[in-house]
């Protein structure tokens, strides 16, 4: 999970061209701490989808998903987990 959060921090810094190091991005309170607006969050999520090869469903979008790296990392982890296929 820490690897995913580290990648999310890098994606956030790169996607909206923040002037902070990824290591300085907090786990929680991203919107307020980094001064993110709605355009920033959309850019970030588009980059997340591209970086991890996932699609974030509209019904899953929430401020909690955008504002906190833990739920976002969990979401990405679930979307990228290998699907068990039955052996026939």
Q: Residues 17-76: pLDDT tens digits?
A: 999 999 999 999 999 999 999 999 999 999 999 999 999 999 998 888 999 999 999 999
Residue 86 confidence (pLDDT): 57
C-alpha to C-alpha distance for 37 and 59, rounded to whole angstroms: 20
Residue 82 confidence (pLDDT): 73
Q: Which residues contact 5 (CB under 8 A, 6 or more apart)?
A: 27, 69, 70, 73
- The closest of 9, 12, 1 to 47, measured between CA atoms, is 12
Residue 47 confidence (pLDDT): 96
Residue 43 confidence (pLDDT): 95
Would you tell me the crossing angle of helices 2-15 and 38-52 to the nearest 10 degrees?
A: 130
């Amino acid at each position: 999970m820490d690897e995913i959060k580290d990648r999310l921090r890098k994606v956030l810094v790169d996607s909206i061209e923040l002037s902070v190091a990824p290591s300085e991005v907090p786990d929680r309170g991203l919107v307020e701490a980094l001064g993110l607006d709605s355009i920033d969050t959309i850019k970030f999520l588009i980059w997340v989808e591209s970086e991890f090869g996932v699609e974030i469903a509209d019904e899953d979008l929430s401020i909690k998903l955008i504002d906190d790296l833990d739920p976002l990392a969990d979401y990405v982890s679930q979307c990228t987990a290998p699907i068990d296929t039955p052996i026939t």
